[in-house]
Amino acid sequence: MKKFEKHEEYLEAIKEGKSVLLFSADWCPDCRVIEPFLPELEKEYSEMDFYYVDRDDHIELCQEMDIFGIPSFVAFKDGEETGRFVSKMRKSKEEIEEFLTSVK
């Protein structure tokens, strides 16, 4: 999973193709729960580019996109948002797969 260092990288990443942003943080226990199966999901949904967005490093982007609970997922196609799975609740692998299939 690629990681953003600068805000401009976010703008470039979502510009073309299908992208999924995962908003997360190292200290988040619910984020750590989903971490083990993320590589499998990346492989299964290989037509999408996955990006890790550290909530603490990119708080302005989170505010701009109304992301207040983590982990949260936002999908884009050619620069347009196609869906989001945003909540404060722990997410299961099945719920994430359902979301990814819906934005495929």
Catalytic center residues: 28, 31
Return the H-helix or E-strand segment holding 92: none
Name every residue whose Cβ is closer than 8 Å to that of residue 95 and which is 6 or more positions away in sequence: 85
Gyration radius of the chain over CA positions:
12
